[in-house]
Amino acid sequence: MPSPPVLISEADIQIRVDELAAQISLDYADKGDVVLIGVLKGSFIFLADLARKMTIPRTIEFIAISSYGKTSVSTGAVRLLMDVRSNIADRHVLVVEDIVDTGHTLKYLIGLLESRQPASIKTCALLHKAESAEVDVNIDYIGFGIDDEWVVGYGLDFAEHDRALPYIGTVLPADRAKK
Ligand code: 5GP
């Protein structure tokens, strides 16, 4: 199977992650500590890079929710699979997502985490498919806006393939059928 065509290069990702980390570090400079909550599995590489490039005190948590499984069509149904391990009450929370598509996942997560009364909650997504939005959800930090196509690499998969690619690539519908 040939490598997926490049949509966003490794170099461009690193430049943008540097910018996001600098902006977030500035915005939270007076907050003391921020809890970064990475949404598994797709955000694990983005979170690792972002966290290392930030210059303010931060702690790392992960949360896992149901994904689309082996298909690439959103059902809109979201379910908690694994929770964070620490109490987030009165703490500043930044949810770190790989990609926001319809927005259902992020909306569900914000509702869930808000019920635990954090001091603040903000959201960061490496990728945003603005055309695909089905629900209104605020994204405070966006890496790149992309068209409505299936992307892989830098943590993102198609049926568990291609997560470890260093760049963001596209998977054509014809290739999806072969995997
Ligand atoms: P939403 O709930 O916003 O529709 O979808 C968010 C989740 O869908 C993401 O966290 C990700 O797991 C998955 N997703 C949406 N679009 C893509 C895509 O193009 N590629 C990959 N690998 N995952 C996607």
Mean pLDDT of 173-179: 60
101 annotated active-site: yes
Tell me the percentage of the chain whose pLDDT exceeds 70.
91
pLDDT at 70: 42
Would you say residue 160 has pLDDT above 70? yes
Ligand 1 pocket, Cβ-based, cut-off 6 angstroms: 39, 42, 67, 74, 97-105, 150-152, 156-158
Which is higher by pLDDT, 42 or 70?
42
Residue 24 has which token pair? 């977030």
CA of 32 to the centre of ligand 1 (A): 31
pLDDT at 5: 96
Which CATH code, of 3.40.50.2020, 2.60.40.2550, 3.30.750.24, 3.60.10.10, is assigned to 6-178? 3.40.50.2020
CA of 155 to the centre of ligand 1 (A): 11
pLDDT at 68: 55
Q: What distance in Å separates the CA atoms of residue 137 and residue 110, rounded to the nearest whole number? A: 9
Mean pLDDT of 168-172: 92
Among 64, 121, 136, 125, CA closest to 97: 125
pTM beyond 0.85: yes
Interval 131-151: pLDDT, tens: 988 999 999 999 999 999 999
Choice from 107, 156, 168, 175 to test ligand 1 binding pocket (greatest atom count within 8 A of CB): 156
CA of 27 to the centre of ligand 1 (A): 27
User: Which residue in the list 98, 101, 157, 162 is annotated as catalytic?
Assistant: 101
Domain ranges of the chain: 6-178
